[in-house]
């Protein structure tokens, strides 16, 4: 006999988690496909009764995306332009039905190398909030996802929210994804970039690439090289010249390692150009995450 529980308070949820081997269920859009044709053979803790975990709030030090916040919630929220990349990723996750059920937190906990939410959240310096009956800890997202389908989540822990530190809410951002077709597709490569500029020159840059390593990576060498460059084509030129040593793409059915590396380079260049809009100044004039026309080539 396997148990199913749908607690309505966080304390009850954590008490259950502290006492048993539960599988957490949020939107179910990774949970159910992962079962394949096998029957469910684990106790299921459904977090959909935890109303307090849904939505986006602000504290003195950070913005908090609750664990039950869906991709549709992200798209509908009023957010600064530094979140445009996350919104553009939200539009690319599956279909509108998947975006309506699937949560941002579920995307992180599933820890797929092709999870579209990871690169934009890395560029926002995101941290995850992990709670158990033992207490609460916060981990940088880069320390939370340890490998393909591997996270630092302990058996008795629940990811309750994603924190974006206030300083990382500055600037403007963009996200681009390459798949074998335009829509409803797993990424061959995807890139997020967030730029902060002063008087037309880059003050800080955050660039992350997914699907080209077991865990999405920030490109710290390129980020440093971008500082001081003028907004515009110089950024794309720096990207085309970058070595991208942080990436370790593999050959698979979706593309060869060489193709992925070249595609990533081109996507980085285009994403930087797309993020230039609004990066000068405070970057609060959000485009609402509407897709940017990047058909102009980088080179
Ligand atoms: C048709 C289809 C298309 C898709 N397309 C894309 C795509 O284009 N891009 C993309 O990135 N993904 C895609 N996905 C995957 C999926 O929709 C996303 O990863 C989604 O964000 C998962 O969220 P969820 O709430 O459904 O997670 P669930 O399926 O409920 O859970 C996923 C995993 O996270 C764990 N978990 C969930 N919430 C928590 C929590 N709060 N604390 C701890 N553990 C937790 C669960 O136990 C499970 O292991 C697609 C899926 C489908 C079915």
Per-residue model confidence as pLDDT tens digits over 223-269: 999 999 999 999 999 999 999 999 999 988 888 999 999 999 999 99
Sequence-separated (6 or more) residues with CB below 8 Å from residue 11: none
Per-residue model confidence as pLDDT tens digits over 16-54: 999 999 999 999 999 999 999 999 999 999 999 999 999
- Report the C-alpha gap between 149 and 161 in whole angstroms: 19
216: Cβ below 6 Å to ligand 1?
no
- Report the C-alpha gap between 67 and 48 in whole angstroms: 10
Whole-prediction pTM: 0.95
Per-residue model confidence as pLDDT tens digits over 100-110: 999 999 999 99
23: Cβ below 6 Å to ligand 1?
yes
**Best substitution site from 24, 30, 69, 157 to test ligand 1's pocket, by max atoms within 8 Å of Cβ?**
30
Tokens coding 25: 């269920």
Tokens coding 131: 């709670």
33: Cβ below 6 Å to ligand 1?
yes
Nearest protein Cα to ligand 1, atom 14: 94
Sequence-separated (6 or more) residues with CB below 8 Å from residue 175: 84, 85, 86, 88, 89, 92, 116, 119, 120, 190, 191, 192, 271
Burial 186-218 (b: 16+ CB within 10 A, else e): bbbbbbbbbbbbeeeebbbbbbbbbbbbebbbb
**Best substitution site from 32, 75, 102, 114 to test ligand 1's pocket, by max atoms within 8 Å of Cβ?**
102
Sequence-separated (6 or more) residues with CB below 8 Å from residue 267: 176, 178, 189, 190, 191, 209
pLDDT band at 177 (very low <50, low <70, confident <90, very high): very high
Per-residue model confidence as pLDDT tens digits over 143-159: 999 999 999 999 999 99
């Amino acid at each position: 006999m396997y148990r199913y529980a749908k607690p309505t308070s966080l304390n009850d949820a954590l008490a259950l988690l502290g006492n048993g081997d539960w599988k957490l269920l949020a939107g179910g859009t990774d949970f159910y496909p992962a079962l394949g044709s096998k029957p469910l053979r684990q106790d299921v803790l459904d977090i959909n009764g935890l109303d307090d975990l849904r939505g986006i709030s602000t504290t003195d030090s950070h913005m908090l995306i609750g664990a039950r916040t869906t991709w549709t919630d992200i798209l509908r929220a009023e957010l600064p332009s530094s979140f445009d990349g996350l919104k553009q990723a939200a539009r690319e996750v599956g279909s509108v039905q998947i975006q309506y059920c699937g949560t941002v937190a579920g995307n992180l906990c599933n820890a797929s190398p092709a999870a579209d939410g990871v690169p934009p959240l890395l560029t926002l310096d995101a941290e995850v909030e992990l709670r158990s009956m033992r207490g609460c800890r916060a981990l940088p997202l880069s320390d939370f996802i340890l490998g393909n389908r591997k996270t630092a989540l302990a058996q008795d822990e629940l990811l309750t929210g994603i924190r974006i530190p206030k300083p990382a809410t500055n600037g403007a951002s963009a996200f681009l994804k390459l798949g074998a077709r335009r829509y409803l597709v797993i990424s061959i490569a995807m890139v997020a970039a967030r730029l902060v500029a002063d008087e037309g020159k880059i003050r800080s840059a955050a660039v992350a690439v997914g699907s080209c390593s077991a865990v999405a990576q920030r490109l710290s060498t390129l980020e440093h090289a971008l500082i001081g460059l003028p907004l515009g084509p110089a950024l794309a030129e720096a990207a085309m010249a970058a070595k991208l040593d942080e990436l370790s793409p593999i050959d698979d059915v979706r593309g060869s390692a060489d193709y992925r590396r070249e595609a990533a380079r081109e996507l980085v260049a285009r994403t930087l150009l797309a993020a230039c809009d609004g990066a000068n100044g405070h970057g609060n004039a959000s485009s609402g995450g509407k897709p940017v026309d990047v058909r102009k080539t980088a080179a």
